[in-house]
Structure 1
Amino acid sequence: MGKVVLFIAMSLDGYIARENGEIDWLWDDNDYGYEKFYNTIDTVVLGRKTYEQIFKLTENFPYRQKDVYVVSNIQEGSDDYATFIQPEQIRPLMNLLKKDQNKNIWIVGGAQLIHHFIKRDLIDEFQIAIQPTLIGKGIPLFHENDVEAQLELHEAKPYADGMLVLTYRKRQG
C-alpha cells in the first residue's frame, strides 16, 4: 500500500519560491536523496500553477514515466501529460491510489495544493529539505490554516553544504 508524500525544498525562512515563482536561489548541484525518492513513487499530483511552471522551466516534461494528476479549479479532462481533477476529487482518488499501488504518491506543488491535502489529512509523510538561504519574501510552504497536526521526526539528514532534509510522519495514537 502506497503512502502520500510531500517531498519539497524550502528556504530557511520558509519559502518554496520567489514571489514570481522563480527558484533560482535553490541549489541544484546535489541530489539530496531525490533519485532514491523518485524511484519510490508511481504517481505525481501537481498543483495547476506548478504544472504550468514546469513548461516554463524545461522543454521535457520530467514525469513522463509516472501517472500524473493536476489539481485545478478551472481545467478538466486531460492533456498529453496529465489528468485534471477538482479539489473535491482528491480524497477519493488518494484512497483508490493508496489501495491499488505499492509505490508512493508524490505531492508536487505550492501552499494551495498542500493545504488541500493537509485539511483532508491525506499527507502520510513530509520530507522537507531546508536550504540555508534566506530569500526574504516569496511563496510560503504553508498557508495559514485551522488544521493542527502532530508529527513525529522520523529522520534528519544533514549534508556537508548545509542542506538539511527532515522527514516527518503522522504521529500514531
Structure 2
Amino acid sequence: MGKVVLYIAQSVDGYIARENGAIDWLWDDQDYGYEKFITTIDTVILGRKTYEQIFQLTDQFPYRSKDVYVVSNMQEGSDDYATFIQPEQIRPLINLLKNDQHKNIWVVGGAQVIHHFINKNLIDEYQIAIQPTMIGSGIPLFEKNDVEQQLELYEAKPFSTGMLLLTYRKN
C-alpha cells in the first residue's frame, strides 16, 4: 500500500514561488535526492497552475511514466498527459489509489492543492526541501487551515549548498 507524500521545495521564509508563480530563485544545480524519490512514485497529483507551468519550464512532459491527476475547478476529462479531477474527488481517488498500488502518491502542488490534502488529513509524509534563500513575498507553502497535526521528524538531510531536506511523518 502506497502513501501520500508531499515533496516540495520552499524558500527559508516559507514560499514555494513568487507572487506571479515564478520559481526562478529555486536552485537546480544538483539532484537533491529527486531521482531517488521519483522511483518511489506511481502517481503524481498536482494543481492546474502547476500543471500548466510544467509546459513553460520544459519541452518534454517529465511524468510520462506515471499516472497523473490534475486538481481543477475549471477542467474536466483528460488530455494527453493527465486526468482532471474536481477537489471533491480527491479523497475517493486517494482511497482507491492507496489500495491499488504499491508505490507512493506524490502531491507536488501548488498551495491550493496542498491545502485540500491537509484539510482532508491525507498527507502521510512531508518531504520539504528548505533552500537558504529569502524571496520576501510570494505563494506560501501552507495556507491557513483548520487542521492541527502532530508530525514526527524522520530525517534531516543537509546538503553542502545549505539546502536542507526535512522528512516528517504523521504520528
Matched letter for residue 87 of structure 1: P
Kindly, what percent of the aligned residue pairs are identical? 81
1:132-147 pair list within 5 angstroms: 132-147=132-147
SS of equivalent residue, structure 1 residue 51: helix
Give the AA of the match of 1:20: N
**Structure 1 residue 56 displacement after superposition:** 1.1
For the pair 1:84 / 2:89, whether they are aligned, the reply is no
DSSP-derived class of the 1:167 partner: strand
User: Match for 1:141: what amino acid?
Assistant: L
Deviation at 1:20, TM superposition (A): 1.0
1:85 corresponds to which letter in structure 2? Answer: I
Who is 1:11 aligned against?
11
After TM superposition, give the deviation of residue 7 of structure 1 in Å. Answer: 0.2
CA deviation after TM superposition for structure 1 residue 58, in Å: 1.2
| 2:105 corresponds to 1:102 | no
Equivalent runs, 1:56-75 vs 2, <5 Å: 56-75=56-75
Question: Which TM-score applies when normalising by structure 1?
Answer: 0.98
Structure 1: give runs of 5+ residues left out of the alignment. Answer: none
Q: Deviations over 1:75-126 (max 9, x none)?
A: 0000000000001110010011011100000001111000000011000000
Aligned residue pairs: how many?
171
User: Deviations along 1:35-75, whole A, 9 cap, x unmatched?
Assistant: 00000000000101100111111111110110000000110
Correspondence for 1:148: 148
- CA RMSD, Structure 1 to Structure 2 (Å): 0.6
> Equivalent residue for 1:170?
170
* Distance in 1, Cα, partners of 2:133 & 2:74: 34
Q: Distance in 2 between matches of 1:57 and 1:21?
A: 12
**How far apart, CA to CA, are the structure 2 residues paired with 1:9 and 1:80?**
27
3-state SS of paired residue (2:114): helix
Match of 2:55, SS? Answer: helix
TM-score (norm. length: structure 2): 0.99
- Cα distance in 1 between the residues matched to 2:94 and 2:13: 30
Tell me what 1:124 maps to. 124
Distance 1:31 1:169 in 2: 22
In the other structure, the counterpart of 1:34 is 34
Displaced runs of 4+ in structure 1, greater than 3 A?
none
